[in-house]
A and B are shown apart, each in its own frame.
Chain A
Amino acid sequence: MIDKLTILTIVSMASTTYITRVLGYLVLRNRMLSPRMMSVLENVPGCVLISVIAPAFVSNNLANLLALLITLLAAIRLSILPTVVIGILATGLLRHLIN
């Protein structure tokens, strides 16, 4: 049985999400951008990505912080796949050992 209110919630939520995905593109698509606007946009990827992962930097768990440090060092030298594997293993092991 499918619940009507559940479907309404899902469809409204999904439409809202889709609007956020196309809005920035639709607004800027045909604009000539000023150099300052370009330099602000250049900073979007870094500022967004680092904000998304910020909670990891202020974890109150020692194992998580140490694992973050190891992952950070791996990320400086290695490509995505080895960094992911090292990150997962370091986090799992340290949580096992410390917690």
Chain B
Amino acid sequence: MSAALYNLEENIVDVLQTSISASLQSNAKNEFVRGIRAALPVMLGFIPFALVLGAQAIQNGLNTIEVPLMTGLNFGGGSEFTAMQLWTSPPHVFLIVAMSFLVNSRHILMGAALAPYLRHLPKRHAIPALFFMCDESWAIALSDAKKQLSGVVSLPYYLGVSASLYLTWVLFTLAGALLGPSIGNIEPYGFDMAFTAVFLVLLRGMWKGSKVCRPWFVSLAVASLTYLLIPGAWYVAAGAVSGLITAALSGEQN
């Protein structure tokens, strides 16, 4: 009798476990698909830039293996465009690495801001996932985390966003490399506004009134002035840091 009960109990536990893991799996799949959907408008913005970058790289003497190697290993548009501007034959390794660091130094702040939303993940998952952190995947995942009940980044959602953006970037930079100079100048068509548009909508979602968001205006002013006055990619770092100093100082006042 007790053996039969025990068996029954085991069966129930089994069934429950299977159904829980199945629902977790289907939930992960839904989250991944939701991530792909969120990435769609950004992919639209990536394509023209990727084509132009690939074409520029070919003109700089890189070949059709080296181009996807660069965009696939580095996966950071800003630093890749900078590298192409500085590219000589042979390339000046130190200069390019130093400028990549400068252009990407904002990632350090971005990773720090994301850290509290990744507490639920083991390090062995977070570290590889962060390879895909770009402005867009980071901003989308972070603003989604703030809306969710869980209050943390949904990993499959983030991976859905990341996979879409990563594949788009690598494949279309390769396409740009293959098409080469025939792409010509796409500047007149206005695709460059895509990123500004995405960022403005994300900023709108974070807006909490002009008083709370005062650091943003400091960032905007300092970044604009730096952009106008100092050549190179210093404006992002200068703008971000000055806004954060403003935030730290006004936090002290309150």
Residues of chain A having any CB pair with chain B under 8 Å = 1-3, 5-14, 16-18, 20-29, 33, 35-36, 38-58, 67-68, 71-72, 74-76, 78-81, 83-84, 86-96, 99
Contact = CB atoms under 8 A, between A and B. Distances in A.
A47 B74 contact: no
Nearest to B95: A9
5 contacts: A14-B74, A48-B219, A49-B202, A76-B204, A88-B191
Interface in B21-45: 40-42, 44-45
A99 B35 CA distance: 38
B107 A20 contact: yes
Interface stretch (B10-18, B127-135, B166-174): B127-135
A9 B112 CA distance: 27
Given A36-B251, A40-B247, A48-B110, A25 B197 contact: no
Given A44-B244, A48-B236, A51-B223, A67 B190 contact: yes
A5 B91 contact: yes
A75 B70 CA distance: 33
A6 B213 contact: no
A10 B202 contact: no
Interface residues of B, number: 89
B216 A10 contact: no
Contacts of A6: 62, 66, 90-91
B200 interface: yes
Contacts of B126: 25, 29
A2 B143 CA distance: 41
Contacts of B69: 7, 10
User: A-B pairs with the 5 shortest C-beta distances?
Assistant: A24-B111, A51-B239, A91-B190, A24-B112, A47-B243
A27 B108 CA distance: 10
Interface string B95-113: 0110011001111111111
Interface of B: 40-42, 44-45, 62-63, 65-66, 69-70, 73-76, 79, 83, 90-91, 93, 96-97, 100-101, 104-116, 118-119, 123, 126-127, 130-131, 133, 135, 139, 142-143, 188-204, 206, 213, 215-216, 219-220, 222-224, 227-228, 235-240, 243-244, 247-248, 251-252
A1 B63 CA distance: 8
Contacts of B131: 18, 21
A67 B132 CA distance: 31
Contacts of B251: 35-36, 39-40
Contacts of B198: 80, 83-84
A25 B130 contact: yes
Contacts of B227: 54-55, 58
Contacts of A81: 40-41
A73 to B, nearest CB: 10
A67 B193 contact: yes
Contacts of B130: 21-22, 25
* Most chain B Cβ neighbours within 10 Å, of A1, A9, A11: A9
B108 A20 contact: yes
Given A29-B123, A47-B215, A48-B236, A92 B190 contact: yes
A28 B83 contact: no
